[in-house]
Structure 1
């Protein structure tokens, strides 16, 4: 009887785990569709407002200003209120801002609105990571984080594939209004159907942790309320290994920020691809990201569990090499489109697919109790890179008249940075 009861409890725990991850993943799909789908429309926006490459980069910078400044505070809020409410706020904020995007009369207004869009993402990311960390078995945490992070790229892929087609036929403004409606609907459904259940795992080998156990169990709620933001932050800062990993986030922020901000324009202008094909290649970037998120997470769990910094070093080298490869395309008279697709896939494998393995290290070093604020601190460094990279990448492109120097300089920067922080096992 005891064995049967244990097996039944295990089935319930797995069912709860899968339902929670499904809701979180669907929420992140909507987020990826909204945010990165919009980036595929930048060639249309550039044409309407007659923008330089540097001014294109201003959009990502405006977006990441608020996302960076509020990252730690939003992580602390997630620790106190839990994932469910914050997912509602995060997607809801994004959807409302997108509605205003569609009626923006100038690029300056759009940049101001981007600051508010960053607020939604600032809340959404730690909420999703927190929700995943506290329901995932510890031995499979990186893998499940990779799956959830991959759902963001599924949304990005869908946006990259569909929105340029909608923009060609209906205009970019109607495309934005469409994804805004989808985001708001998803926010409502996620809040209604997000599972809430208490699970006792003391005698359970599955080690499934309740989605709201940390925040809703009486002991943890009291601890979360009495522990001040300052005390939580000081605890994180005293953890030298965790703090170094957070600093490392600058590297990944630079790589992802520069790619997602300029890749669509690079494809359509420097490689002379039409918007639909450029959108397809941009989508391929996120296919690589999906493979990377799941693959790097699995590799981290199975081969680098005790030395995860080695996995992060490999990822950073892949990113640096692919940036370097794109800088050589300008010396080729005619580039095979298939080569561009494969290269986009490999670029996404590193520059988009890094976060599952990275945040698994953050969550592991911080522990469940501080996972939200530790994620927030890591995001400050990541988004600092995302904040600065688009402007620098675009500035170098304007100086040269194309993106060759941008790819070359950033490739050397990423490889050097990864060597200094990872190769000597300082983490």
Structure 2
């Protein structure tokens, strides 16, 4: 246990002061951390399923409702705009009412309102319901990342934060597999009803996931704090009259202005640009991939399989890249991933031998998925605990703007009869801009103070 974690007990018997965040940081990965990780991963898996189900059912919805590519893109964007506002609103709300409550609220919203999609036939009502469902979907990711960044050992943080983001593409992969198995026999509406299964996760989150120490410490909930610290770091010897505290920077008032003070401004701007480009790439490709493949002459069922292969690329390679991120840092890992995105997405529009096409598709999924996972895993280190929810909420809101814009832009391009190969080539632009933006970030004084090893990884 480091000297900075616990202040020395005074000779007159005064109580020692314990920095709870550092006690958790110095813990070793154990079943407590694993349990929190798994439950938050499940929340993201169902979140990812609800995001991906629209892309899987897109072609069927167009045929059933008789809507144009532009309307289809706008319908996709409705969910994305909902996610943008949800990330922004719930990200800030999590700094006020607690991370845990927001995760529970988000699961309820995305489960119930996506299920309602199966009960409606009106295009305009579809837009409204999908927007509300999107708010729930947008609420989960920034809050999960913020909470998990607190409840992971420092030594494993980048790996675990990167791996939890497997939940999004894994959930989307499940939606693709569900499409392959059930889309034709049961119809597209059945895939939306499956989202109600996520409600089961709520009960386990309530009983097994702690809230941020930011809320326990000021309220003097010593019993809860002792219990959590005992699970997170059993090697730490607790004393009855310990006084618990969090870092001073973690007590500051919550406001968006904090993201532009104390050396955070430059990083905030560049991170927002990176977030926008990342999800423009991810949702621009994943939302329209089945439709674009059918336009290139592939049957519907094969095009859904293509989406599954694309998503599988990110799922299978995330653990490897997460370890590389912990060892070498984001600045050395991310540029090759952006280069991989630009090259492989460009190649998708070419006539390739089928085995080569699958390899390129798999690698494209690796790059597009992993750049966002690494970014999300890195961002918490840029901000103190007190404003981390707000920082992640705003960052995710900006990224959702990218995910909202991309489907509409692609839809407009197709309506204007832009060739499919040209549509794919336009994705090179956000890959280049995102790479430049992430390289412009740099550790500030507070980051270095809280994590000195970041200097060697910059």
TM bracket, shorter-chain basis: 0.7 to 0.9
Equivalent residue for 1:241, pick from 247, 261, 267: 267
Candidates 392, 401, 404, aligned match of 1:384 = 401
Contact 1:143 1:356 in 2 (8 A): no
- For residues 289-321 of structure 1, what are the alpha-carbon distances to aligned partners after superposition, in whole Å with 9 as ceiling and x for unaligned? 1134333322111122xxx23322222221111
For 1:310, which of 306, 310, 332 is the aligned residue?
332
Larger radius of gyration: 2
Deviation at 1:288?
A: 0.9
Q: Write the deviation string for residues 350-407 of structure 1: whole angstroms up to 9, x where unpaired.
A: 1122222101221111133322111112112211211211111222223236422111
Decide whether the 8 Å contact of 1:292 with 1:352 is kept in 2. no
What is residue 67 of structure 2 aligned with on the other side? Answer: 51
Number of the residue aligned with 1:283: 308
CA-to-partner distance for each residue in 1:306-346, whole Å, 9 max, x for gaps?
xx23322222221111221123x1xx3xx433333222211
TM-aligned CA distance change 1:221 to 1:163, over 3 Å: farther
Q: What number of residue pairs does the alignment pair up?
A: 398
More helix, by proportion: 1
Tell me the SS of whatever aligns to 1:286: helix
Q: What per-residue deviation string (whole Å, max 9, x for no partner) do you get for residues 178-208 of structure 1? A: x12212233344334435763449x96999x
Structure 2 Cα separation of the partners of residues 227 and 51 of structure 1: 47
Give the secondary structure class of the aligned counterpart of 1:145.
Answer: helix
Q: Which of 303, 314, 319 lines up with 2:341 in the alignment?
A: 319
Segments of 5+ residues of structure 1 without an aligned counterpart are 1-8, 208-216
Counterpart pick for 1:130 among 117, 122, 146: 146
Give 1:230 shift.
4.7
Instruction: Find the residue that maps to 1:359 and give its secondary structure.
Output: helix
SS in 2 for 1:40: helix
Q: Secondary structure at the match of 1:105?
A: coil
Structure 1 position 148 matched with structure 2 position 164:
yes
Q: How many Å separate the matches in 1 of 2:148 and 2:185?
A: 38
Q: Does 1:87 align with 2:112?
A: no
**CA displacement 1:248-296 (0-9 Å, x = unmatched):** 2121121012012201211233242332x22222111111111343333
Match of 1:191 in 2: 206
Q: Where do residues 69-80 of structure 1 align in structure 2 (5 Å cutoff)?
A: 69-80=85-96
Residue 270 of structure 2 is aligned to residue 253 of structure 1:
no
Residue 233 of structure 1 and its aligned partner are, at CA, apart by 4.2
- Aligned with 1:227: secondary structure? coil
1:129 is displaced (CA, Å) by 0.6
Instruction: Give, in whole Å, the separation in 1 of the partners of 2:86 and 2:262.
Output: 17
Do the aligned residues in 1 keep the contact of 2:46 with 2:195 (CA within 8 Å)?
Answer: no
- The answer on 1:296 being equivalent to 2:321 is yes
By how many angstroms is 1:53 displaced? Answer: 2.4
Contact 2:43-2:140 within 8 A present in 1 as well? no
Give the superposition deviation at 1:423. 5.8
Alignment of 1:178-217 (within 5 A): 179-194=194-209, 198=225, 199-200=228-229
Q: 1:393 aligns with which of 399, 402, 410?
A: 410
Q: Match of 2:151, SS?
A: coil
* Gap change, CA 1:237 and 1:230, over 3 Å in 2: farther
Moved more, 190-199 or 89-98: 190-199
The answer to whether the 8 A contact 2:79-2:133 is kept is yes
2 CA distance for matches of 1:313 and 1:236? 27
Q: Give the aligned partner of residue 336 of structure 1.
A: 353
Name the structure 1 match of 2:391: 374
- Distance (whole Å) between structure 1 residues aligned to residue 136 and residue 357 of structure 2: 33
- Deviation for aligned residue 1:56: 2.0
Counterpart in 2 of 1:165?
181
1:51 match: secondary structure:
coil
Structure 1 residue 158: Cα displacement? 1.4
Q: Let me know the Cα RMSD of the aligned residues.
A: 3.1
- Residues 23-46 of structure 1 show CA distances to partners (whole Å, capped at 9, x for unaligned) of 111221121122213321111111
Q: Which residue matches 1:30? A: 46
Asked if the contact 2:27/2:153 (under 8 Å) is kept, the reply is no
Secondary structure at the counterpart of residue 74 of structure 2:
helix
Distance 2:143 2:86 in 1: 13
Task: Quickly say closer, same or farther: Cα 1:126–1:289, change in 2 above 3 A.
Answer: same
TM-score w.r.t. the length of structure 2 is: 0.78
- TM-score using structure 1 length: 0.83
Alignment CA distance shift 1:356-1:19 (3 Å): same
1:21 aligns with 2:37: yes
